[in-house]
Amino acid sequence: MSLPSTPKTPIRAITSTLINRASPSVPPASQNYEPLVKSVLAYRLSRLFLQSATVCWATQSVWSIWQSGGIGELGLYGILLVPFRPVTLLGAFLLWIAASVPVVVLRKTFIHSERTPATSPHASLKAALSKSSTKPALFTYLASATILVVVHAVLAYALESGSRGDPRLSLYVKSRKHPHYLNGRLLFLIFSQAAVCLSFLFRNMLRDRFAYRWVSMSSAAPSTLVDITVAAFIAVISITSALPIACFTFGAARMLVLPVVYKLPFLRSLLKPFVNHFTKGPYTFVLPLKHLTLLIRAWFLGFTTFFLWELSEAMFDGLISEPVAVTTQGSKSNPVANQTLLVSGITSKDPVMKYFSYAELAGVVQSKGSTAVAERQALFGDQKNGLNLWGVFVRETLLLLGEDYQRLLRRGAPPPPPEPTATTSATPLTGKKLVEGVEERINATPVPLLRRSILRNQSSSVIGSPGEVVLDQLASDGPIAQAVDKSAEAAHLPDLFKSVSSPLSKSILKPVAEAVPVPAPPVPSAGLIKKARTGICNAVKKSFNEQAPPQLKDEVDQFVRWWTMDRVSRLVDASLPMRELDVVVIEVLTKLVCASLEEDRYGVVQRDIPKILESLLSFLQAVEDYQAEIVKKYSPPPLPSTQPRGAGSGSFETSDGGQEQGEEEAGPTKKELEERRAMEAELEKATDLLGYVGDGLKDGIARIVRTFGDKLTAFRFPPRTAQKLQTFMDFCQ
């Protein structure tokens, strides 16, 4: 019997298309969406540098015309040529490098998306001082202001010498006897620039300038002319208030600081060749008025510095807040790729990137062309495409709204820490050896042994025999051994000496444990500084309360109250820090739901309508509850009536039958009226912030109700949601 021959061709299984393929997922935003947005923002940053360079060129042209003598020296034709001189172009470049570039780079480096949750100016300043961006900002502004003084002095000698004479801004005074005396005029300019720097930094800290400037989609970006006008107005106010501070600081440094430093022997010999002339002659506060030209120069130099800084910040806010479009439009666009890119953007962890993605989706939703319809249909779902774009979109959107809803319920407080879960620790027990070198380990919880007899009842009146008591006391886990272990641990003894079971060891180790000194906690230097600061503050307060006039005390009390009082609008702002993003998200979500009635071919969106409406209505209810709570809690009391205290006629009858006129109640004072107006303004601002989100929610819910109408009766809602939704149904019908 012969065996069958082996076939030459190998046998293969029949291939099938019914295989388990993993559904494709949306690519992460860090790889797909964010690089495109960053490239657009980088291009905008180059535009910002070009615009700021143009402003610096115009500013330096004005300075050059004035330093060259104006129209009287140059004439009309000369004024037209001044902006194109090499000295003017060089000065404009130095002005741009020293003023605009550092501010923009600093803002780009430390920009963040969330506002600082501070409810008063004092809290804002305290929070800003604790941030990592404050010290670099201070050093950057100081360096920029100092460099601008040097640039101005160099250009003054280059342009003013022929027309206006010696500007007297050299580093040393012109003295043959004392050639190294520092020039007081130049030092005063540096002091004035330092005051401008601190004023600008103080304003930025109170405004939380490094936070992203959220801009509503309905509001147009401000024009460059508006930015220039606002920056000039702010610069005028700031330098006018900062220059007196510079004069006072310069005088205090000459009258108070320099004499104290001169008492130190080493520093006196070191500083005498440079500042000895400042110690001669008294400094009076009217001394700057005798140098009016220097004050005017310092004012215009500070104005230029503050104006360029503020304008650079304003232009940065305008360019960075504009919506970013990264998808391709037109006939060559790919709807599936475009919507995949935008859905990838909303999965980003950066709220700013989410805002850009939702803003571009809002443009897709509002469009009426065939391209927009195709892109919306690609977002709703396509059976040929395995990507579940709508599922990812609605999940990320509801999660975003849910986080802000929970923050509103917590009134801006951080989320509570997760509760620790009680876990039983399992002690591994070593078992028999299964293989050479491998042990079986059994995870089991050890059962504690009973420390009492189980053969008879233990009561307070029944005590074991003396032998049992002694054995229990001397056991390895008895009270004596436990006391020895505690004493040994206190004395930092090795483990070898802990296994004693004699009662004598307790009496031996107890003096040892008591003899070991416990090191006292070191007194930090911060405590001494805090005590000294507290003492100085108390002394100043006591002196002020004893010697200050009553009117000054009232003004100081009013300022302290303004500085530390919690603002109602700030409380609401901390509860809804992402309200601009929320309104954009609500608009995009509700408009897509409305468009799905005609454009969703597979009914993917309809199954999510109940949970979408429930989420929006819950959010709206939380906003309305908070708004009612704010109005009830912070509404000012009604004004007292000024009617007479007696009868309606204003008189009452005395005991002797005569008539006596009733006294009118005193009305509110001027101070009370001002506080009332301030409280009403804060309350109005707070209700406007809540109303901004509430109006967005109402518009979105009403949009869905008007679109679907009676078709919403096919869905099931919880009773509270259905009752709230019925009010919209009655209103929209």
Per-residue pLDDT reduced to its tens digit, 673-719: 888 888 889 999 999 999 999 999 999 999 999 999 888 888 888 88
DSSP H or E run through 389: helix 389-409
- Asked whether residue 201 carries a pLDDT value surpassing 60, the answer given is yes
Rounded to an integer, the average pLDDT of 397-421 is 88
DSSP H or E run through 214: none
- Asked whether residue 298 carries a pLDDT value surpassing 80, the answer given is yes
Looking at the chain, the whole-number percentage of residues with pLDDT higher than 70 is 75
Whether residues 687 and 607 fall in one domain: yes
Q: How confident is the model at residue 495 (pLDDT cuts 50, 70, 90)?
A: very low
Region at 397 (left for phi over 0; alpha for psi -120 to 50; beta for the rest): alpha
Please check whether residue 35 lies inside any domain of the structure.
yes
Residue-level pLDDT at 96: 96
Q: Are 444 and 429 in contact (CB under 8 A)?
A: yes
How many CB atoms sit inside 10 A of residue 648's CB?
8
- Asked whether residue 496 carries a pLDDT value surpassing 50, the answer given is no
Q: Token pair of 30, please?
A: 């860090």
Please check whether residue 135 lies inside any domain of the structure.
yes
Please check whether residue 440 lies inside any domain of the structure.
no
Whether residues 404 and 307 fall in one domain: no
Residue-level pLDDT at 216: 59
Residue-level pLDDT at 23: 52
Residue-level pLDDT at 330: 60
Residue-level pLDDT at 166: 78
Q: Token pair of 281, please?
A: 């002659």
Angle at 129 between CA 124 and CA 134, to 5 degrees: 115
Mention every residue, 6+ apart, whose C-beta is less than 8 A from residue 635.
683
- Asked whether residue 575 carries a pLDDT value surpassing 50, the answer given is yes
Whether residues 233 and 368 fall in one domain: no
Whether residues 76 and 124 fall in one domain: yes
Residue-level pLDDT at 219: 54
Rounded to an integer, the average pLDDT of 488-516 is 41
Residue-level pLDDT at 312: 95
Which has the higher per-residue pLDDT, 478 or 197? Answer: 197
Whether residues 95 and 138 fall in one domain: yes
Q: Token pair of 390, please?
A: 């709508």
Top mean-pLDDT range of 64-78, 135-149, 220-234, 672-686: 135-149
Instruction: Look at residues 294, 321, 348 and tell me which one is the last residue of a structural domain.
Output: 321
Please check whether residue 562 lies inside any domain of the structure.
no
Q: How confident is the model at residue 407 (pLDDT cuts 50, 70, 90)?
A: very high
Whether residues 301 and 389 fall in one domain: no
Rounded to an integer, the average pLDDT of 537-561 is 83
- Asked whether residue 424 carries a pLDDT value surpassing 80, the answer given is no
- Asked whether residue 239 carries a pLDDT value surpassing 90, the answer given is yes
- Asked whether residue 66 carries a pLDDT value surpassing 70, the answer given is yes
**In the predicted model, what is the mean pLDDT of the chain?**
79
Residue-level pLDDT at 514: 44
DSSP H or E run through 112: none
Of 73-82, 169-178, 297-306, 698-707, the one with minimum mean pLDDT is 169-178
Please check whether residue 652 lies inside any domain of the structure.
no
Instruction: Look at residues 286, 321, 356 and tell me which one is the last residue of a structural domain.
Output: 321
Nearest-angstrom CA–CA distance, 156 and 162: 10
Of 8-17, 19-28, 320-329, 596-605, the one with minimum mean pLDDT is 8-17
CA distances from 420 to 407, 415, 427, 549 (A): 22, 15, 21, 58
Whether residues 221 and 77 fall in one domain: yes
Nearest-angstrom CA–CA distance, 257 and 251: 10
- Comparing CA positions, the residue from 324, 328, 334 lying closest to residue 358 is 324
Mention every residue, 6+ apart, whose C-beta is less than 8 A from residue 442.
428, 429, 431
Please check whether residue 14 lies inside any domain of the structure.
no
CA distances from 145 to 62, 100, 139, 628 (A): 19, 11, 10, 49
Number of domains the chain contains: 2
Domain assignment of residue 190, given as a range: 29-321
DSSP H or E run through 433: strand 427-435
- Asked whether residue 368 carries a pLDDT value surpassing 90, the answer given is no
3-class secondary-structure state, position 369: coil
Q: How confident is the model at residue 18 (pLDDT cuts 50, 70, 90)?
A: very low
Q: How confident is the model at residue 221 (pLDDT cuts 50, 70, 90)?
A: low
Nearest-angstrom CA–CA distance, 457 and 455: 7
Residue-level pLDDT at 155: 92
Residue-level pLDDT at 191: 93
Rounded to an integer, the average pLDDT of 162-191 is 84
Whether residues 294 and 390 fall in one domain: no
Instruction: Look at residues 299, 321, 343 and tell me which one is the last residue of a structural domain.
Output: 321
Whether residues 346 and 220 fall in one domain: no
Whether residues 308 and 380 fall in one domain: no
Please check whether residue 558 lies inside any domain of the structure.
no
Rounded to an integer, the average pLDDT of 558-576 is 90
Nearest-angstrom CA–CA distance, 283 and 266: 25
Whether residues 181 and 227 fall in one domain: yes
Whether residues 244 and 371 fall in one domain: no
Of 133-147, 310-324, 513-527, the one with minimum mean pLDDT is 513-527
Please check whether residue 458 lies inside any domain of the structure.
no
Residue-level pLDDT at 541: 82
DSSP state of 651: E
Q: How confident is the model at residue 383 (pLDDT cuts 50, 70, 90)?
A: low
The separation between CA 209 and the C-alpha centre of its own chain, rounded to angstroms, equals 9
Of 79-93, 236-250, 283-297, 582-596, the one with minimum mean pLDDT is 283-297
Which has the higher per-residue pLDDT, 639 or 563? Answer: 563
Residue-level pLDDT at 409: 94
Q: Are 99 and 56 in contact (CB under 8 A)?
A: yes
pLDDT tens figures, 623-658: 999 999 999 988 887 766 544 444 444 444 444 444
